[in-house]
Amino acid sequence: MSIDRLIAYCGVTCAPCPDYTQGKCPGCRETEWGDDPCMPVRGCSEKGIGICDACDAFPCADMAEYYQESEGHKEVYQRMLAMCKE
């Protein structure tokens, strides 16, 4: 699998995630979301955006709660904010 498939749209790395490594989650890039609104980044993927920080609306309100869910998500968010300022 190519490395770009291991980085989720939100910027989180799937490789160390137990759900991903145990085959419980295919990763957001391989998931057929349909009309399921539970993953806010689904709309970004439909815009053709490869990762959240490439979006003109980043950081957006849709993803704000998601980035507060865990320390790992907070770290990714801070890293992407820093990259946007460079």
Please write the tens of the pLDDT for every residue from 16-71.
Answer: 888 888 988 888 777 776 665 556 666 666 777 888 888 888 888 878 888 888 88
| pTM score above 0.75 | no
16-53 b/e (C-beta count within 10 Å ≥ 16 → b): ebeebeeeeeebbeeeeeeeeeebbbbbbbeeebebbb
CA gap 45, 40 in Å, rounded: 10
Q: Residue 55: which domain range?
A: 3-85
Q: How many domains does the chain have?
A: 1
Contact 9, 44 (CB under 8 A): yes
